[in-house]
């Protein structure tokens, strides 16, 4: 089933930038956007009982090999935000797409995606297809 038809392949978390995430103008420093994406990604993976400790226990590491952020409007100190994450692809890699929205207006402030690949923890070799444990946890048929 395509990701866009599966509500459980999405999650949304609320957060508000802290003072130490911002510059002197109270604008969030660009490096912290990835921290906000990580918070949403971890919450999404936890709902499948396949967060980072479970990934490692299953014999795989899942490094992020590509990350892209499209800044639309700056994030500000103490701004109420909603960060959504969804699994967009899971066959050959794990692609997650994100949006950061202003909680009050719903305006999209940032769009992003990350790509993770499975690496065999014992050999360190990158796999060119996601292992069956991921499909099992997501409840999707293996390709």
pLDDT in tens, 16-63: 999 999 999 999 999 999 999 999 999 999 998 888 888 889 999 999
| pLDDT band, very low/low/confident/very high, at 4 (cuts 50, 70, 90) | very low
Does the pLDDT of residue 125 top 80, yes or no? yes
Q: What is the mean pLDDT of the chain?
A: 91
How many contiguous H segments (helices) and E segments (strands) does the chain have?
3, 7
Give the pLDDT confidence of 105-120 residue by residue, as tens digits.
Answer: 999 999 999 999 999 9
pLDDT, tens digit, 9 for 90 and up, residues 57-90:
999 999 999 999 999 999 999 999 999 999 999 8
Whether 138 and 89 have beta carbons less than 8 Å apart is answered as no
CA distances from 26 to 16, 19, 23, 101 (A): 12, 7, 5, 18
Question: Residue 6 has what pLDDT?
Answer: 65
CA atoms within 13 A on the CB side of 60: 23
pTM for the complete prediction?
0.89
pLDDT value at residue 5: 44
Q: How far is CA 99 from CA 1, 40, 50, 95, in A?
A: 22, 10, 22, 14
Q: Residue 50 class from Cβ within 10 Å (0-12 exposed, 13-18 middle, 19+ buried)? A: buried
């Amino acid at each position: 089933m395509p990701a866009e038809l599966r509500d459980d392949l999405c999650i949304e978390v609320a957060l508000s930038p802290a003072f130490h995430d911002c510059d002197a103008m109270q604008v969030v420093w660009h490096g912290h956007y990835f921290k906000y994406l990580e918070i949403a990604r971890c919450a999404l993976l936890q709902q499948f009982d396949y967060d980072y400790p479970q990934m490692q226990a299953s014999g795989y590491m899942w490094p992020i090999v590509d990350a892209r952020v499209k800044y639309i409007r700056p994030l500000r100190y103490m701004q109420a935000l909603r960060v959504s994450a969804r699994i967009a692809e899971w066959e050959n890699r794990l692609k997650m797409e994100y949006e950061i929205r202003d909680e009050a207006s719903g305006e999209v402030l940032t769009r992003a995606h990350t790509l993770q690949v499975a690496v065999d923890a014992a050999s360190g070799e990158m796999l060119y297809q996601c292992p069956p444990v991921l499909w099992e946890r997501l409840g999707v048929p293996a390709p």
